[in-house]
Amino acid sequence: KSHQTNQCVCKVLTVDTMNSCVKKVEYAVRGPIVLRAVQIEKELKEGVQKPFSEVIKANIGDAHAMGQQPITFFRQVLAMCSYPELLDDDRFPEDAKGRARRILQGCGGQSIGAYSASQGIECVRQDVARYVERRDGGVPSDPDNIYLTTGASDGIVTMLKLLVAGEGRSRTGVMISIPQYPLYSAALAELGAVQVNYFLNEERCWSLDVSELRRALADARRHCNPRALCIINPGNPTGQVQSRQCIEDVIRFAAKERLFLMADEVYQDNVYAEGCEFHSFKKVLFEMGPEFSSTVELASFHSTSKCYMGECGFRGGYMEVVNMDPEVKAQLTKLVSVRLCPPVPGQALMDLVVNPPQPGEPSYSTFIRERKATLSSLAERARLTEQILNTVPGIACNPVQGAMYSFPRVTLPARAIREAEERGQAPDMFYCMKLLEETGICLVPGSGFGQRDGTFHFRMTILPPTDKLKILLSKVKDFHQRFIQQYS
């Protein structure tokens, strides 16, 4: 220990002298449980005996890693963009070639190796705007309001960065749902903004009650300046799909309370439940008439990483800003220019997502078949997850209406909670860590997302292929029963 202290004196940069906001950052989706999972994988490779033969990672929405296949058309176009000599190859269909040519013509020197404009390639932004218009039943979208981003995370952090100001009681507060996706809490910690929690209603399928928004806002106004309201729809980690009525209520609330709306809509194609439908915040906003559509400030986010394509590695995404002050927009454009541009292959992929094969084009039927297969299999897995988990006494799982996650509540015996506390662990971390050690299944404890005090959850993706998912769910079931017995 004394040696360590000596060492610290010598170093310029230590935990004591580093950025204190960075120290407060937490990111459970890649936290200690995932580090331990990677370690266990290495141990298995080295021949260490375990009660299981492989680690199953259901901790992160990483579709391809779980075996989902990419959309053929997307990858054909990307291959041609990378190596344009392939444009002469008969193996590729004409529509794929056309898309590749269009993208390359939008690039400096017709190369995806050139920087793009800071805001993104112009023709891609045009395609995004047209996509948004189609999706929203004709509500106009201006390519100048589209910013391509490095995944949705980049856009969200950039918007939060613009919003953070003031000190002490006038410091910017940002309202986020609890449970939340921990990018939000991490970004707020890094920026030194105030996190303002509003709780989703677990009893009503993780729905959002405006009365709870009102409560949270009133509380927050006593110690900070709440200026923005973040919504994730469909929900992460909670899998709910917001009703149109609820979105209207939220917009009315934001308008009345003067809050900047941030709508994280990266799961917009992931809606499975009967009677549920995705409504974009922008569409609802415009349908509410000019009183709202010309005043409420909104940024909405999308990405290539989720939905039916699951292309996380490309870090593609966009955000659309609505009613943003023109001077602020100029500041935003300046800010993003410092990083030069989002990755161009990700921009190309985003273009394909918003401009996929059309009826009559050679790739159309394959594209539709692949997309449908993935989405209907996800719907099946969503159903399966809810059903099987609800057969376990002590686990209660809301319907997975959308997105890629279940967030079931687990009832933990008092003795387990005590033992976890003695170890300085959150009880659901204790539970998940034990699950990992005994079964090889990697989930994320609910405490990493936030939950009502005294309740415990885990987040599990529905992404393992159906066969594996069934095994996983039955292992979770067995484990939970053993765990309850052990600690009762």
Residue numbers 30-59 binding its own copies by CB under 8 A = 30, 38
Query: Which residue of 328, 368, 373, 414 would you call a contact of its own copies, by CB under 8 A?
Result: 328
Count Cα atoms within 13 angstroms, Cβ side, for 218.
6
Residue holding tokens 């484990």? Answer: 479
Asked if 125 and 143 touch (Cβ cutoff 8 Å), the reply is yes
Site for its own copies in 51-110 (CB under 8 A): 60, 62-68, 70, 75-76, 78-80, 82-83, 86, 89, 91, 107-109
Q: Could you tell me which stretch among 112-120, 405-413, 416-424, 432-440 binds its own copies (CB under 8 A)?
A: 112-120
Nearer CB in complex with its own copies: 37/129: 37
Q: Does 1 bind its own copies (CB under 8 A)?
A: no
- CB of residue 166 vs its own copies: minimum separation in angstroms? 8
Nearer CB in complex with its own copies: 157/389: 157
Sheet holding 146-150, edge to edge: 146-150, 316-322, 298-303, 260-264, 225-232, 172-178, 194-199
Please tell me whether residue 150 adopts helix, strand or coil conformation.
strand
Nearer CB in complex with its own copies: 80/432: 80
Query: Which residue of 253, 267, 314, 458 would you call a contact of its own copies, by CB under 8 A?
Result: 314
Q: What is the DSSP string of 391-435?
A: TSTTEE-----BTTEE--EE---HHHHHHHHHTT--HHHHHHHHH
- CB of residue 254 vs its own copies: minimum separation in angstroms? 9
Query: Which residue of 27, 52, 364, 487 would you call a contact of its own copies, by CB under 8 A?
Result: 27
Q: Give the DSSP letter of residue 146.
A: E
Site for its own copies in 248-287 (CB under 8 A): 258-260
Query: Which residue of 173, 310, 356, 440 would you call a contact of its own copies, by CB under 8 A?
Result: 310
Sheet holding 405-406, edge to edge: 405-406, 458-461, 444-445
| Distance, C-alpha 450 to centroid of its chain | 15
Nearer CB in complex with its own copies: 327/453: 327
Site for its own copies in 143-162 (CB under 8 A): 150-151, 153-154, 157, 161-162
Site for its own copies in 333-392 (CB under 8 A): 334-335, 337-346
CA 35 – CA 39 distance, rounded (Å): 6
Nearer CB in complex with its own copies: 63/435: 63
Q: Does 18 bind its own copies (CB under 8 A)?
A: yes
Asked if 372 and 272 touch (Cβ cutoff 8 Å), the reply is no
| Strand-strand pairing, 458-461 and 441-442 | unpaired
Closest of 132, 385, 409, 354 to residue 273, by C-alpha: 385
Total binding residues for its own copies by CB under 8 A? 96
Nearer CB in complex with its own copies: 26/437: 26
Torsion angle of the four alpha carbons 144, 145, 146, 148, in this order, in degrees rounded to the nearest 10:
90
- CB of residue 340 vs its own copies: minimum separation in angstroms? 7
- CB of residue 417 vs its own copies: minimum separation in angstroms? 27
Nearer CB in complex with its own copies: 265/311: 311
Site for its own copies in 221-250 (CB under 8 A): 227-228
- CB of residue 270 vs its own copies: minimum separation in angstroms? 16
Nearer CB in complex with its own copies: 107/200: 107
Q: Dihedral sign for Cα 35, 41, 42, 48, please.
A: positive
Closest of 323, 297, 334 to residue 119, by C-alpha: 334
- What's the token pair of residue 119? 């805001």
Q: Could you tell me which stretch among 113-121, 203-211, 232-240, 280-288 binds its own copies (CB under 8 A)?
A: 113-121
Q: Does 17 bind its own copies (CB under 8 A)?
A: yes
Nearer CB in complex with its own copies: 136/297: 297
Query: Which residue of 164, 231, 247, 435 would you call a contact of its own copies, by CB under 8 A?
Result: 164
Site for its own copies in 290-309 (CB under 8 A): 295, 297, 309
Q: State the amino acid at position 330 in one-letter form.
A: A
Largest CA distance in the chain: 74
Nearer CB in complex with its own copies: 187/416: 187
Could you tell me if residue 86 is left (phi over 0), alpha (psi between -120 and 50 degrees) or otherwise beta?
alpha
Residue holding tokens 């209520």? Answer: 249
- What's the token pair of residue 262? 């941030």
Site for its own copies in 165-204 (CB under 8 A): 165, 182-183, 186-187, 190
- CB of residue 22 vs its own copies: minimum separation in angstroms? 6
Nearer CB in complex with its own copies: 218/414: 218
CA 176 – CA 303 distance, rounded (Å): 20
